[in-house]
Amino acid sequence: MAEGQVRDLWKEARELGLGISGEVERLESPPSPLVFLRDFVAANKPCIISRAATLHWPAVARSLWSDDSYLCQALDGCDVSVHLTPHGRADSLVPIPPGAPGDAPRGLCFASAFVRTMEFQEALRIIYSTGSPSSPVVAYAQQQNDCFRAEYSALSADVEPHIPWATEALGCLPEAVNLWIGNGRSETSFHKDHYENLYVVVTGEKHFLLLPPTEVHRLYVRSYPAAQYVTSSSSEMGELKLEMVEPKILVPWCSVDPYPPSPEVMADQRTSFPLYFNGPKPFQCTVKAGEILYLPSMWLHHVSQTPDSNGRTIAINYWYDMVFDIKYAYFNFLQSISFSHCTNEPSRMICNSCDVSDLSGDSELESTRKG
């Protein structure tokens, strides 16, 4: 229906402001609050700020967080939340378990990690040990509920409590500060957040795939039934089992897996999601130790990581409240307009009708989580 117009929007948003190279602009030093607000926040445009922005942080300058003995001593006796999955992908789409009702797009469900609280020292140990491809479980220390200021408050002197130029630009302190400790297998599937995000890698590297909100149709947001990993064993490394959440909950989520595990799955992904695989190249960047990524609100992002020589990646991110302004209203309008042929699901292939209600079944969906 609106395919031509939506494609024009993709093109125009990139050509006018976001850039056509697919690269994220890099700043050598922290921007002034005014420049940050004008050139990036108001423009809803990402940027990476060099290590110069965090060189005064003890965690960066003295590489404190690359030192196990420092971390274990500082967090001695502290309990932290660890997400356990069989594959490293928390909050991702996986096949509905055998025996469960199968009425879902492509037979998939939205699987949340099994979350276990454990002493930090133990968490660090299993993050290392589960980085090996042979491990049947992958551990990722994360909890997107302001966990840095709660579980990791013993480390608060190692970083800044907020990003001063961002705080001044946005006119508020961070709503949440989260810490992330993962190994090379940890991955976050495509989603968006309703926050302005200042994402700082402290050790290791994070790899981002980014799509502007104008390109939301390319990720085929669909409603998937929620499922949850559980373990019957009392050991934290017990085998994980996937259970459907009862009563049924539907979670709108991006359908595309940009890095499928096998050529067969890749072939299926390419056939099913041509708008992603045949469309304009996603923005792509690697954020290195000490660097800050400004990830604008509503941008769709996929995150993977490369560990440091000690086998881990540690990042901290500052979530600032976004303003729900005219850009947000425009985004919701865009999402309410159907893109014909944007899916190969049979029920959506027939679109030679003007009845929008038949076609834009996802208009009210939000592929959102705190993540």
Footprint of a copy of itself on this chain (CB under 8 A)?
1-2, 4-6, 8-9, 12-13, 16-18, 33-35, 37-38, 41-45, 168-171, 212-214, 323-334, 336-337, 340, 351-354, 356, 360, 363
State in angstroms the smallest separation of the CB of 47 from a copy of itself.
14
Residues 6+ apart with CB under 8 A from 78: 119, 120, 151, 152, 154
Give the nearer residue to a copy of itself in terms of CB position, either 1 or 59: 1
Give the nearer residue to a copy of itself in terms of CB position, either 72 or 337: 337
DSSP one-letter code for 71: H
State in angstroms the smallest separation of the CB of 326 from a copy of itself.
5
The single residue listed with the structure tokens 């609106």 is 2
What is the C-alpha separation between 144 and 193, in angstroms, rounded? Answer: 11
What is the C-alpha separation between 147 and 37, in angstroms, rounded? Answer: 27
Radius of gyration of the chain (CA): 21
State in angstroms the smallest separation of the CB of 38 from a copy of itself.
6
Give the nearer residue to a copy of itself in terms of CB position, either 47 or 80: 47
State in angstroms the smallest separation of the CB of 112 from a copy of itself.
30
Q: Find, among 169, 344, 182, 365, the residue nearest to 270 by Cα.
A: 344
Give the nearer residue to a copy of itself in terms of CB position, either 38 or 248: 38
Give the nearer residue to a copy of itself in terms of CB position, either 259 or 330: 330
Token pair for 119 = 């002493």
Strands 25-27 and 47-49: parallel
State in angstroms the smallest separation of the CB of 171 from a copy of itself.
6
Give the nearer residue to a copy of itself in terms of CB position, either 7 or 288: 7
What is the C-alpha separation between 108 and 226, in angstroms, rounded? Answer: 10
What is the C-alpha separation between 196 and 361, in angstroms, rounded? Answer: 28
State in angstroms the smallest separation of the CB of 44 from a copy of itself.
5
